[in-house]
């Protein structure tokens, strides 16, 4: 009974950590913008882009290169790339679950 409860806990913790970790990546990501960069398809997220923004920025010619992160979604249409997002969440949850499961197994062996 204790093993089942512990495994359910590990799954729930893994889901929370994986989902949170993938969801916050666009806030810490930025792109170096060059003259040939398409600002109408500004993509953010690590390691795969999960957010695409259609920015209306028109930088001056001498402004390049510059770093651009997440811009206001209220002013710029933003959409979530669902396929990439779901893939990254599932991969992160699996990785976190394996890591937590191996830590729990090692702790049990030490006892």
Residue-wise pLDDT tens digits, 44-100: 998 999 999 988 887 877 888 888 898 888 888 899 999 999 999 999 999 999 999
Within a domain: 106: no
Residue 3 is assigned to a structural domain of this protein = no
Question: Residue 89: inside a domain, yes or no?
Answer: yes
> Does 45 map to a domain?
yes
Count of other CB atoms within 10 angstroms of residue 54: 13
Q: Reply yes or no on whether the pLDDT at 25 is more than 80.
A: yes
Please state whether the predicted TM-score (pTM) of the whole model is above 0.85: no
**108 belongs to a structural domain:** no
Q: Two tokens at 73?
A: 């979604």
Range of the domain at 73: 24-98
Residue 94 lies in a domain: yes
Decide if 15 is inside a domain.
no
- Total number of domains constituting the chain: 1
Q: Is residue 11 part of a domain?
A: no
| 42 DSSP assignment | E
């Amino acid at each position: 009974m204790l093993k089942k409860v512990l495994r359910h806990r590990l799954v729930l913790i893994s889901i929370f950590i994986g989902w949170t970790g993938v969801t916050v990546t666009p806030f810490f990501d930025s792109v170096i913008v060059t003259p040939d960069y398409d600002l109408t398809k500004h993509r953010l997220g690590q390691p795969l882009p999960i957010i695409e923004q259609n920015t209306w920025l028109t930088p001056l010619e001498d402004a390049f290169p510059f770093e651009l992160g997440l811009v206001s979604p209220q002013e710029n249409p933003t959409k979530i790339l669902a396929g990439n997002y779901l893939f990254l969440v599932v991969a992160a949850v699996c990785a976190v679950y394996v890591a937590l499961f191996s830590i729990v197994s090692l702790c049990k062996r030490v006892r």
